[in-house]
Structures are given as structure tokens and as C-alpha cells.
Structure 1
Amino acid sequence: MKIFVTDHDGVEHELEALEGWRVMEVIRDWELPIKAECGGACSCATCHVFVDPEWLPKLHEASDEEEDMLDTVPDVEPNSRLSCQILMSEELDGLKVRLAPSAKPETAAA
């Protein structure tokens, strides 16, 4: 199965995904730039993504914990989700997300 991830530069990447993996894990393992500081514990909001609106009805509703974390980011939108809270399944084959600015790793000073 596949997910399509638009990075911070607007480039779309087609990533191979495995059933049961968190979208955050797929993005990180394909080495796209995502902070994902807590590793999927839903305690930091640094894996924030914008889900393509056509895919929102196929996702389970965000938990109160996820909503609380999303309230901490400055760039939240109606289609905001934490990618660590989205588990890949056959129903999500072809999922499209865009990395949020708040999920961009900071670059080292030159």
C-alpha cells in the first residue's frame, strides 16, 4: 500500500507503507523531514500533518488527547492530525497528507 506525502518544499513523495504502521513511522523511515520527537506517544504534536480533505472521512476521529496536542501548534487547520495517530490499513491505501510547518525539523546553524 502507498501514502502520498507532500514535504515542506511542496514536493509530493509516493511512499510504500505497511499495514498497522503509523503514518509518522512511514514518513520517518523514508527519511522525509519530520520532527516526531516523542516517537508516537501522542505527547508532542511534532508529527503534525494536514490530511487531504477527501481522506478525512476514512480516518477515525481524533481522540481528546490528540485534540489537546493539536491545540498546542500555531498552524492547526480543520484537516490537522497527528501522523502518529493514523494507522495504515487497506482502507487508507493512497492516503494523501502534507507535512505541517510545525513538524519541520530545525536546521543546524551554519
Structure 2
Amino acid sequence: MEKLPCETIVWDSLPAIRAAIAAEMVRCGLSQKMVAQILNMAPSAVSQYLSGKRGYRIVFSDEVTDAIADLARDLVSKTVCDPRERICRICVMIRGGDSMCSACEPPEPVS
């Protein structure tokens, strides 16, 4: 049986996105400890993302790479405090616009 989209997201896409965001934030000059605080994860997780021990290595398109870099810069500059919506949009980009997640869908119009 083929994996459910959410399984692929949890095991492949999200770890890769989080690793790329963490790496970009460190490149922007933040410490691993500060990155961990901002992303609400353990410092050891950031360390493992940066060392390649955690998070799958996915080759992102230029569009996804740019979106990740923009999000990381916005987190560093504190113009974004909650990255969930942007991470969700990046995930949809990785899947080629195939959103099976209700959180990523626009709300239904109210009659």
C-alpha cells in the first residue's frame, strides 16, 4: 500500500524543511541555542539537523529554497513569530501544489 500523504510529510518533508530553516538561521548568525528557542525544539535537534544526523536530505527546487530562506530571515528579524502557516505552504510547494491537508486549504465560503 502506498504511504498516506501525511506519512510522507512527517517522515520526509517536515524534517528536511526544519533542517533547512535551522541551517539558514545559523547562516544568518544565530546560535544553535537561539534557533532551537525560536523553532521550539531542543538544541540537540538543531545540532542533529546541522550535522545531517536528523532530517532527510531532499533537494529543493529554487522556489522552495527561496521560500525557506525568506522564512528563516523573517524569523531571525522577528517579523514572523509563528512559522506554521509558512511551513505548511512550503510543504505544499514541495508536493507540487497537492494539498490534502485541511489546514492548507482556503476556508470554504460561508453562505
User: TM-score by structure 2 length?
Assistant: 0.27
Greater fraction strand: 1
Higher relative contact order (CA 8 A, sep 6+): 1
User: TM-score by structure 1 length?
Assistant: 0.27
